[in-house]
Amino acid sequence: MSTPGRLTTFLRLYGRSWLTTRIVSASLAALSLVIVLLVGFSGTLFSARSDSGASHTPHRGPVQISEAQRRATVIDYRRLDERLRELAQQQAVVGLAVGVVEDGEIRFLKGYGETVAGSGDPVTTDTVFRWASLSKGVAGDMVAKLAGEGRVSIDAPVARYATSLRLPGGNEQRATVGDLLSHQLGIFSHAEESKLEDGADPRALRAELATLNATCAPGQCHAYQNVAYDTASEIVAKVTGEPYPQAVREKLFLPLGMRSASVTREGLEGARSWARPHRGGKHSPPVEVTDAYYRVPAAGGVNSSIKDLALWLQAQMGRDPDVLTDKVLDTVQTARASTPGELGRMRKFRERLHTASYGLGWRIYDYAGHRVIGHRGGVTGYRSLILFDPVLKTGVVALWNSTTNQPAGLEFEVLDMLYKLPARDWLALGRSGELESEEAEAA
């Protein structure tokens, strides 16, 4: 029975007059209609909140922001939505989900396109995608959380935790947990990944790293890893006594209310709505989900909806200190390695992107004089991004199920709105031609 119905019955049972009952019923029905209209009118503008006195798994849901809040916003959500709708029409884009957190609150959540090209099945805010390398931030946060509890030492050698990692010259005895999580193990980048993708066991591959030539001493140079980075999952399992997927779900995802988040292929394919991977765009069929990076879960195994990725973004801004303390966030978001090669990879944004470095599973940039934190990810048929200003507590997340990098410009269009900078066509939609002409001049 509905709430108005229960209240009407209550009044009748306890002697209210027929007229009073009718008035109360009519008032409640009108109030219900107003609430429905307000929820429908809210569109893509949201604010997230937790129920007061929430327990271990708080519920967070969207509510309409007030008119005062809407006037105070610096993000032009109407323009953003227009840009994203145009982006979704591009042939290279199959499906896309985007979330924006402004001033610590979720203000925008929306899905675009389809879960499968040509299917008509829409991407929603509940559609599950793969995070790919955004998963590294989960591992960094998880290990730092255990360190904050005194169960792991960031400065201890990896060998203390009896993992499968072996490095040239016995350097696992010198490389610290911090070196591991900041990709400073002294081996060449992406070591043993081709063998991982061919089906080799990651623990065996980590042992084989000892046969490589060292490129530098641990802690002295940065070279991005996946197979080696997943040593973090072994450390977490050793310390907690739980498999890595279970540990992060119980200690991070559930306390943050991230109910769609998982660290297995089954978690993706078992979702009510999930985006199929596409190597091409709208005219390409979906491809099979690859499982290589599920076998290195700390490096690339997380899945979730955009709604839950937005909750994760809020947590990185300090919204949930009972789960991720300020000390933990400071630990992972402090630069440990300079990454000038990242600037070369993102050269189209160099007008405003000045420096790049790496913390523990997180990248740190100087964007137009502002310190911002984030990461990007990519695995067969999926791409992802997260980027935010920790001081202004504003940022953006996006997930898409095709291999195009075009949506990646979204993060900088949002930052330009935040910092009130002149607009640039970072999404390369060709409206103003500014980006194209600047690239031509640079070339």
Q: What is the pLDDT of residues 307-319, one digit of tens each?
A: 999 999 999 999 9
Q: Which amino acid is at 142?
A: M
* pLDDT at site 357: 98
Q: What is the pLDDT of residues 369-378, one digit of tens each?
A: 999 999 999 9
pTM for the structure as a whole: 0.83
Residue 154 to residue 180: CA distance in whole angstroms: 9
267 and 216 housed in the same domain: no
* pLDDT at site 398: 98
96 and 220 housed in the same domain: no
Domain range for 13: 3-41
* pLDDT at site 430: 85
- pLDDT above 70 for 128: yes
Q: What is the pLDDT of residues 48-83, one digit of tens each?
A: 333 323 333 333 334 344 454 555 789 999 999 999
- Asked whether residue 287 is assigned to any structural domain, the reply reads yes
Which one-letter DSSP state was computed for residue 424?
Answer: -
- pLDDT above 50 for 439: no
* pLDDT at site 195: 98
197 and 250 housed in the same domain: no
268 and 160 housed in the same domain: no
- pLDDT above 80 for 238: yes
Q: What is the pLDDT of residues 410-429, one digit of tens each?
A: 999 999 999 999 999 999 99
Residue 412 to residue 368: CA distance in whole angstroms: 10
- Asked whether residue 107 is assigned to any structural domain, the reply reads yes
Task: Tell me how far apart the 2 most distant CA atoms of the chain are, in Å.
Answer: 89
Share of the chain above pLDDT 90, in %: 79
Q: Which helix (H) or strand (E) holds 299?
A: helix 297-300
137 and 267 housed in the same domain: yes
- Which residue spans within 260-409 are E strands per DSSP? 303-305, 337-338, 353-358, 363-367, 370-379, 382-389, 394-400
Q: Is 76 exposed, middle or buried (0-12, 13-18, 19+ CB in 10 A)?
A: middle
The whole-number average pLDDT for the span 6-35 is 42
Share of the chain above pLDDT 70, in %: 81
276 and 413 housed in the same domain: yes
Note the Cα 275 to chain centre separation in Å.
16
Residue pair 191/227 in contact by the 8 Å Cβ criterion: yes
* pLDDT at site 71: 52
- Asked whether residue 48 is assigned to any structural domain, the reply reads no
